[in-house]
Structures are given as C-alpha cells and as structure tokens.
Chains A and B, each alone.
Chain A
C-alpha cells in the first residue's frame, strides 16, 4: 500500500472525527437554544448585567458595571492580584 494512501486514510479518519464532533455540537446547540427563554426571563426580571463566571473579584464578576480603576482601589499603591484579572480585560468606555 503506497504511503499517500495510508496518509489519506488517516486524514479522512481525522476529518470523520471532526464531522462527528460537528454533529454533536449541533445537537448541543439545539439543547442550549432551548434554555434561552429561561435566560431571557432571568436577565429581564432581575436586570442582570453580567455573566456569573468569575466570582472572586467584583470587577471580574461584574465587569460591565465596574470601572477600570476598581482593581486598584483597595489602598494607595494597590496592585491587581486576582488570577482572573489576567483573563478579563478592563472594558474601555
């Protein structure tokens, strides 16, 4: 069996895996879209402004309603020290 054929088989196998992941992703998307109505009600009824992903610091829990100076307000010369501060960039307004 020539090497190009073996390689093509391997490549097709990887593509088939990606195809299966894509189909599973579409199923997951349908399930997630079904919960959108609940999320909409929660956002409207509570007036929510942010995603509850990082709860360690107020400026990463609610970046949309915090200002860029919030990480440095603890005391004069305070440095930003929460790990999530490395992932979440301060919003520019």
Chain B
C-alpha cells in the first residue's frame, strides 16, 4: 500500500516536473524573481544578524558607565571637576577622562575618529600592544606619538613614512609620529582610529584645560551598574549617563526591518508576493483549465490534480528558497555584502574590510521559509482547487 502510494506520488512528481519543463520560460521567470526576492530578504537578515552578533561579542567589554554633558540638547565638553563630585558615590572604582572627536580631512574627505586618553589608566591598558600589528603604544609622557587604524595608514599614505600633520581649529599644523598600527583583525573596531595622549588630543581640538569630552566610569560590582548610574544622574542632572547594557542593547535594535532600507527590502518582497498572489488568485489561464479538464476526462481525480499543483509549487518555491538563501550567504560571506555596501557605508571614505559571518540558525531559515514558501503554496494551490472542482465538460467547452 505504502509502496503504491510512493509510486503514485513519484509519478505525479514526474508529471509536475514535465509540466514545469513544458512551460520552462514561465517557470524559470517565476523561479528567478522568487529567488531574487528571497535573496534580498535573506541578505538583509544575514548582514544585520552578523553585525549584531559581532557587536554582542565585542561590546561586552565597553565601559560600564559613560558620562557626557548635555546642554541645549547637544553634547558639550564635560568639566574634569565632575570627578570630585563622583568621588562621594560608593561603588565607583575608577573614573577615566577621555577626549574623543572626529577629524575631517578636507582633502581626502575622510572622517577619522580621534581618541585621547591615558591608556595605562584603562582596564588592560598595558595589554593594548597585543592588538597592534606593529609598533607599540606611546608611553604616558611621549607627546606627538599616535597609533592608527589600517584605513588611516592607507588614507594618509603612511606606507613609507611615519610622520604626518593634522590641522588645529586655527589651521596651524600639529605634527604626529606613528608609533604603531592596529592589527587588521581589529578593523571592525579600530579601522578609523587615531589614538593619542590626552594632552595631544586637547591640543589638536583646542579644548581648554579642565575639560574633556566624556568620562568612563568603572564600578566595583557590575551588578550595581544601574544603581550607580541612577545616583550619578541625581548628583549630576545635566549629564547623560550611558550604561553598558544600554550600549549593548543599541546594537540589538539599531538594525531592523523598521529602518529605511529594511522597510524597502520588506516592502519589495511584499509587493512581489501581492502581485504573484493576485495573478494566481485571478484564476488559471484557459489553457491550464483545458489541461485540467482533459486530465479529469482521462480519469484523474481532483486530489491528483491538486497534488500536481502542490508539487509544482513545492518545486518552484523550494528551489527558489534554496537558491536565494545560498546566493545570499555567498553574497554576505564571500562578497562582503557588496550590494548593500553603498547603503551600509554610504559616503564613508574610511571603510573596514567587512568579514561578515552570519550564524545560520534553524529559526532564521524557518522565518524566511515561512514568509516566502508558505504564502506561495497558499497562493497557487487554492486557485488550482477552485479550477479543479469545475466540471470537465464546462472547462472544455469554455
């Protein structure tokens, strides 16, 4: 019994494949459009998932609390004297001042991130050399020496020299000497960085003594982060308090279907499905109705005709899903999401080499499968059932 059932389904599958082959141009067109839609959805899902995953991995070691001063809704320099006010809050282990900002190179149109701090005061600051490909971090008293990211080396063409200059706000030049370069393996974090001493950063940006851009606060017990953040907010009401969990949460929500690009991907896919469903739901062509009528005259039952249509849909949608998702994976992993880079990086001049590696969880695959294959099956089988229930003589007569 089971053997004959299997043989019957195999025969129906043969017929469905032959039917698809007879209409190969149409079948291939539907398959390619369907695969392209799945490719778009899956690529977006994989890129955002890989970036969120990477952020989750590396930002677990971000400062426990970061303080920025706000004025008129904008960030401004924070007085170093605020450290004294924080001294009274029990549980704070260390407060490290930092100056960081953006340096826009008008010749190359490159926007680099400048960070000035006493690295030896930071946790594991003395181990930072491990993240360098060559050279060493400048000591606390070494003025004018910097460590740069790979894109900075490339943009400033530092391959054959170690010195360069940046403009201060008054357009006077401040010379620097490169003492090290970050490893390419840390590109995702350090690609556009120029790290220097606090005094050099203060000089470069002409920030008055006694002011910095933010304070990194480290607490004795990580379980007390929220409590200490609340106390800091009460002590310094004009300060924005960013906690480590908030920063980690950012990267879990910053990529999503509600972003402009995500919405475009989703809406394109929805539009494609609506057009497809409308085409199918508007009924079968007279030729297809005639084919069904002939099959019924030859003794096929309605369930057999439905099985043929089901197999056709399964073959087209299953193949499209497999091809679309495989192409999306190749696009993201081997082509570094080349199609998305114009939007992902925009007009950025300093660009890291993205080595995206999405974790293909069963849930993600099922999500894309459920959003694509199942609606297609519904959109094709229901009209086929409506048509298959029409009496054969009326279909042949029409």
Contacts and interface: CB of A to CB of B under 8 A. Distances in A.
B342 interface: yes
A14 B318 CA distance: 11
B254 A55 contact: no
A3 B346 contact: no
Given A18-B326, A29-B357, A56 B18 contact: no
- A interface: dominant SS: helix
B131 A63 contact: no
A80 B257 CA distance: 19
A29 B50 CA distance: 12
Contact of A39 (B188, B255, B352): B188
Q: How large is the interface on B (under 10, 10 to 19, 20 to 34, 35 or more residues)?
A: 35 or more
Most buried by A among B63, B189, B259: B189
Contacts of A7: 13, 17, 315
Contact of A43 (B10, B62, B96): B62
A35 B66 contact: no
Contact of A42 (B51, B186, B253, B347): B186
A52 B346 contact: no
A21 B332 CA distance: 12
Contact of A87 (B55, B329, B344): B344
Given A53-B354, A56-B347, A39 B253 contact: no
Interface string B234-254: 000000101000110111011
B343 A55 contact: no
Given A45-B123, A45-B131, A91-B249, A17 B326 contact: yes
B186 A73 contact: no
Interface of B: 10, 13-14, 17-18, 21, 51, 54-55, 57-59, 61-63, 66, 68, 73-74, 96, 98, 102, 110-113, 115, 117, 119, 122-125, 127-128, 130-131, 149, 182-183, 185-193, 195, 214, 216, 240, 242, 246-247, 249-251, 253-256, 258-262, 264, 315, 319, 322-323, 326, 329-330, 333, 340, 342-352, 354-355, 357, 360
Given A22-B360, A64-B242, 12 more contacts: A15-B322, A35-B186, A38-B183, A43-B59, A48-B62, A49-B247, A53-B345, A56-B346, A61-B113, A63-B251, A86-B261, A89-B253
Interface of A: 2-4, 6-7, 11, 14-15, 17-18, 21-22, 25, 28-29, 32, 35-58, 60-65, 67, 69, 73, 82-93
